[in-house]
Chain A
């Protein structure tokens, strides 16, 4: 198994920082460097698969059975109160989230 084990350069660290941001996971500098190394090693597995000849195209499904579709009937769930009670921040029947528009960060998708 060919694992990349070199040290990580600035480009890889920048990539790791972007990845962490896309995954919305805060990482400090140390963690980001660690992630860069991890991604390198991880991509070794992906590279290994490149060496395995595969037949062209096709959908990545296992030929699983057709989705068994459910009858269109309403059933009430009883989790509502428990879920709202467990909400980190709640206002009446709503979940509260902080300011969505962030001057520095990305806007939410509308």
Chain B
């Protein structure tokens, strides 16, 4: 009997919401690089007598994310206290949501392994507060071997949206696509930076393997799932899942069983290692939080937020493919961020042909941004100007070489389109002097050819044509062929 091993993957992603202040107190959320324990107050330090107050914007951003994920959004859900003792948790409980989350039953489409769009269900989205940060005293900064640890509560209380997917993800590649798509969405909606490096987006995975009969499809064994933590980049997510699936499969193939556990991804060594199984130990003893009333999500609020939503990234992508005849790949690049997509569209609206504009934005513009390490917001060339430049190319009023030169001047010297074009001389009629200068310099540079022509050895006029061609090149196509022939003829006559 042949067996087939199918991975079953669900992702739990914590997204830090882009608010100014924390979820339950007015302390700043700007903790990166801040001196430890400076953005703290009685509330987020859990001092006796301190009370939480809910941040309206956090609710708004969570609702925006929920709308982007086509979730059902519920009015009147409550907060629960999740109790556990740990050094980064000042109240010894985390305020979160338990059985009824703010939103549930949503979906996000990704590009599936088969090449077509695949729907990933969203189980739930809820609000909760972040914990503080611990720095460990071990030499490698890891928990193992640390004799003491240092607690910083700046991050404690920062608002998070926890987004849990259905176990619909079928491969490490799809997991990466999902994270990528979610990141793009939260950026589009202004809900979060979605930056895995900076910790504003954190991914945990639940992965199990199902063993079935390859011929009949009958399921023979469902392994218990492993929770994988500590994947800090898109690449890690993919690698960790690849490793884990291999590991689980190997266990099953050798006749072993798999039990519920939590595993830690070690990026350096490329393996997951088991943390002691915590499932039995952790009973969060959830209690509805008596200090906070139910979260209000009124009809008016939903309407207001819905009407302020930008075009969804996939809607924009579809529109680019449809309206501008762009390929899927190209469209995907252009809609990566709303700012980039805006830039492209403004370019097109200034008269550029969509395809050529797409090439220019994806190659020239992105290269410049990359070189300078800046975002599209800091692009030195305004999209309207790029649009005009591209339309010059469209209309044959400049060659590609010239256009790139103009672009180069705009980027390097900060010149406007007009200034750069003038400087390049590709603009308007060539003056007679410039034409004669060009003709003279070409003739001077080609004394042998000149001698041939003067010696009457250019019966078919090829050499004359050659000289004219050089002049055309020299003047970057700004002179008409006729004018060039006239000038050359006159010079040659003058030399006889």
Name A's B-contacting residues (CB within 8 A).
22, 24, 59-61, 64-77, 79-80, 83-84, 91-101, 106-110
Which residues of B line the A interface, CB within 8 A?
A: 19-21, 26-28, 35-38, 40-42, 45, 47, 53-59, 76, 78-79, 84-87, 100, 134-136, 143-144, 146-153, 229, 264, 275-276, 278, 281-283, 285, 288, 292-296
Are B20 and A69 within 8 A (Cβ)? no
Residue in contact with B292 in the complex, picked from A67, A79, A93, CB distance below 8 Å:
A67
Smallest CB-CB A-B distances: 4 pairs: A77-B41, A72-B57, A69-B56, A94-B150
- Give every chain A residue within 8 A of B148 (Cβ-Cβ): 96-99
Pair A91/B150 contact, Cβ less than 8 Å: yes
**C-alpha gap A66/B75 in the complex (Å):** 10
Do A80 and B37 touch across chains, with their CB atoms under 8 A apart?
yes
Report which of B27, B84, B135, B229 forms a contact with A77, defined as CB distance below 8 A.
Answer: B27
Which partner residue on chain A sits nearest B131 by CB separation? A109
- Minimum Cβ distance to chain A for residue B39 (Å): 8
Q: Is A93 touching B282 in the complex (CB atoms < 8 A)?
A: no
Q: Given the interface contacts A96-B148, A109-B278, does A69 sit within 8 Å of B36 by beta carbon?
A: no
B477 shortest CB reach to chain A, Å: 58
* Secondary structure of the B contact surface, majority rule: loop
Q: Beyond A67-B295, A79-B41, A110-B229, is A100–B56 a contact (Cβ under 8 Å)?
A: no
The contact of B293 among A66, A72, A73, by CB within 8 Å, is: A66
* A109 adjacent to B143 (CB under 8 Å): no
Q: Once the chains bind, are B151 and A97 in contact (CB under 8 Å)?
A: yes
In the complex the two chains form, is B282's CB within 8 Å of A109's CB? yes
Assuming the contacts A59-B288, A71-B56, A100-B146, asked whether A93 and B294 have C-beta atoms less than 8 A apart, the reply is: no
Question: In the bound complex, how far is the Cα of B149 from the Cα of A95, in angstroms?
Answer: 8
Tell me the nearest residue of chain B to A84, going by C-beta. B37
Decide if A109 touches B36 in the complex (CB within 8 Å): no
Q: Is the CB of A61 within 8 A of B146?
A: no
C-alpha gap A72/B416 in the complex (Å): 41
| B37 contacts across to A, CB distance below 8 A | 80, 83-84, 93-95
Decide yes or no: A70 and B275 within 8 Å by CB, A59-B288, A97-B148, A100-B87 being known contacts: no
- A59: chain B residues at CB < 8 Å are 78, 100, 288
> Which chain B positions have C-beta within 8 A of A60?
288
Interface centre among A68, A74, A84 (most CB of B within 10 A): A74
Q: In the complex the two chains form, what is the Cα distance from A95 to B46 in whole Å?
A: 14
Interface centre among B150, B151, B152, B296 (most CB of A within 10 A): B150
State the CA gap A61–B35 with chains docked (Å): 40
- Residue of A60, A84, A96, A97 with highest tally of chain B CB at under 10 A: A97
| 15 CB-based A-B contacts, threshold 8 Å | A61-B294, A66-B295, A67-B54, A70-B26, A70-B56, A72-B55, A74-B26, A75-B26, A79-B47, A80-B40, A93-B152, A94-B150, A95-B151, A97-B148, A97-B149
B76's nearest neighbour on chain A, judged by CB, is: A66
Are B55 and A66 in touch, CB under 8 angstroms?
no
* Contact, CB under 8 Å: B151 / A72: no
Whole-angstrom distance from the CB of B215 to the nearest CB of chain A? 43
- Min CB distance, A46 to chain B, in Å? 16
Known: A93-B36, A97-B149, A101-B144. 9 other contacts (CB 8 A): A61-B78, A74-B26, A75-B27, A76-B27, A80-B40, A83-B40, A83-B47, A99-B149, A108-B85
